[in-house]
Chains A and B, each alone.
Chain A
Amino acid sequence: MEKGLEQIGGLPCVGGSFVCDNRGDVIVSSDPAVLATVTMSTIGREVGLAFLALESASRPATRIDFVYDSWRLLAQDMGDAVFFVVCQPNVDMAIVRMTVDVVIAGWRKDSAAQKRLQQRRTERASLASPAALDQGSWSSWVTFASGIQAPGG
């Protein structure tokens, strides 16, 4: 998997990349200079839940592009994990997205990469529980989920 991150890291205006499992734990990282591991974990957990929320709301997404003034973060959903790429604002995102696709396709054929991903496999849906979420997030989730189950209600 590290080779894939190297490929991404070689692109212009890319500062690094990392992959988090659905709990937010970092599986592999190129150690992007701007992010501490704990920050990567927080991002990984929250973005994983965002993908779950979008899917639950029947608006599934496979990519989220966070654009800030001084940096940009691409989150690519892999199902069992989320692949993050840290970029500069002026990055050619089309190149990054295509490279991410190629790297993920390579990991799908790579048994070692698959093993690492499977070991950390967690169903996202199981994370939407009072044990995994803080009280505020759980309350929000319950409200959100009840809205989904009772359309028009």
Chain B
Amino acid sequence: MSDALTGSLSQLPLVDLLKMLAAGGQSGHLGLSSGLDHGDLFLLKGDLVHAECDIHLGEPAFARLVAWPSGQFRFEPQVPPPARTIDKPLERLLAESARAASEREAIRKVVPNMEVVPRLVRKAPGSSVTIEAQDWEMLALLNGQSTAAELARERKADELDFARALYRLKLLGLVELAAPQVAVPAQRPLAGPGFFTLLTTAVAGALGPLAEIIVDDAVEELGFTRATFPRDAVAALAERISGEIREPEKRVRFQQTMLQLLGSQRQQAA
């Protein structure tokens, strides 16, 4: 175990690390981790012979691991591979991964992330349009509301494959990519200082000079301040304060005043 080589992929990228191990004709297990993700690569006399990442094995697993921008590695020499899932020479695998990285970067410039909402452009980009059959199926999915990630899930497609198709359609001028619509919570109308003047007067009539304090306490108990108190919670506030009024006559009079106030507020709102 003391022979293990450990380090950070941000300091020594996986491609360079593999080239170094291959050049030395190394055999052993290269364990990779990035957050909760783990991966395993096995070398035999300088050749990469096995890769595992999540449920993926072989070249697909290697393609995923080589795309990690950061993480930790640990190489333990002389650990035998559990299986042989890769036959291609390492140089070829690295060349393919470099091409894939370039492609991903090109796609990323056009499809920045999978949260964009793809939709058909209103105007055809030319007098005739030629698309591949697989892209037609994708066009049929577009509803102008679902994000690219949602559409990929609906189609049970790999996100990269889906992004690649979007990239093609965007370059053809057939789709545009919009930022997702974020639902902005509707702002609740506020009760306002005028309401609190009327309320305090009514509370003073029922409970005397401590009205200001009683109102502030009740407002705070409901989780607000006078400045943030919403109009739709005014009835709850009035009811809470009415519970403080012990004399039935005064309580009912206060309730009547508040109900009249609420009624006029409703009419104004209507």
Q: Which of B234-270 contact A (CB under 8 A)?
A: 235-236, 238-239, 242, 248, 251-252, 255-256, 258-259, 262, 266
Counting CB contacts under 8 A, is A98 at the interface? yes
Contact of A102 among B232, B236, B259 (CB under 8 A): B259
Residue in chain B with minimal CB distance to A12: B266
B interface footprint on A84-99 (CB within 8 Å = 1, 0 otherwise): 0000000010110111
CB A37 to nearest CB in B, in angstroms, measures 29
B interface footprint on A102-142 (CB within 8 Å = 1, 0 otherwise): 10010000000000000000000000000000000000000
Asked if A101 contacts B235 (CB within 8 A), the reply is: no
Asked if A98 contacts B266 (CB within 8 A), the reply is: no
Residues of A within 8 A of B242 (CB): 98, 101
Residues of A within 8 A of B255 (CB): 98-99, 101-102
Residues of B within 8 A of A92 (CB): 232, 235-236
Residues of B within 8 A of A105 (CB): 248, 252
Asked if B236 contacts A98 (CB within 8 A), the reply is: no
B interface footprint on A29-44 (CB within 8 Å = 1, 0 otherwise): 0000000000000000
Residues of A within 8 A of B258 (CB): 98
Residue in chain A with minimal CB distance to B249: A105
Asked if B259 contacts A95 (CB within 8 A), the reply is: yes
Asked if A101 contacts B252 (CB within 8 A), the reply is: yes
CB A17 to nearest CB in B, in angstroms, measures 15
Assuming the contacts A12-B266, A102-B256, asked whether A95 and B235 have C-beta atoms less than 8 A apart, the reply is: yes
CB B266 to nearest CB in A, in angstroms, measures 7
A12 to B265, CA, bound (A): 13
A98 to B258, CA, bound (A): 9
CB B188 to nearest CB in A, in angstroms, measures 14
A-B pair count, CB < 8 Å, reads 31
Residues of B within 8 A of A98 (CB): 235, 238-239, 242, 255, 258-259
Interface size on A, residues (CB 8 A): 10
A21 to B242, CA, bound (A): 27
Residues of A within 8 A of B232 (CB): 92
Assuming the contacts A12-B266, A95-B259, A95-B262, asked whether A102 and B235 have C-beta atoms less than 8 A apart, the reply is: no
Asked if B236 contacts A94 (CB within 8 A), the reply is: yes
CB A2 to nearest CB in B, in angstroms, measures 19
Q: Which of A95, A99, A105 has the most CB of B within 10 A?
A: A95
CB B202 to nearest CB in A, in angstroms, measures 12
CB B238 to nearest CB in A, in angstroms, measures 7
Asked if B239 contacts A99 (CB within 8 A), the reply is: no
Residues of B within 8 A of A94 (CB): 235-236, 238-239
A99 to B255, CA, bound (A): 8
CB B198 to nearest CB in A, in angstroms, measures 16
Residue in chain B with minimal CB distance to A96: B235
Asked if A99 contacts B252 (CB within 8 A), the reply is: no
A153 to B248, CA, bound (A): 40
A12 to B232, CA, bound (A): 13
Asked if B259 contacts A99 (CB within 8 A), the reply is: yes
Residues of A within 8 A of B266 (CB): 12
A92 to B262, CA, bound (A): 11
Using CB atoms and an 8 Å cutoff, list the residues of chain B in contact with chain A: 232, 235-236, 238-239, 242, 248, 251-252, 255-256, 258-259, 262, 266
Known interface pairs A97-B239, A99-B255, A102-B259; 15 further A-B residue pairs with C-beta atoms within 8 A, sorted by A's residue number = A12-B266, A92-B232, A92-B235, A92-B236, A94-B235, A95-B235, A95-B259, A98-B239, A98-B242, A98-B255, A101-B242, A101-B255, A102-B256, A105-B248, A105-B252
- Listed from nearest, the 4 A-B pairs whose CB atoms lie closest are A94-B235, A94-B239, A105-B252, A95-B235
10 A-B pairs (CB sep. < 8 Å): A92-B236, A94-B236, A98-B235, A98-B238, A99-B259, A101-B242, A101-B251, A101-B252, A102-B252, A102-B259
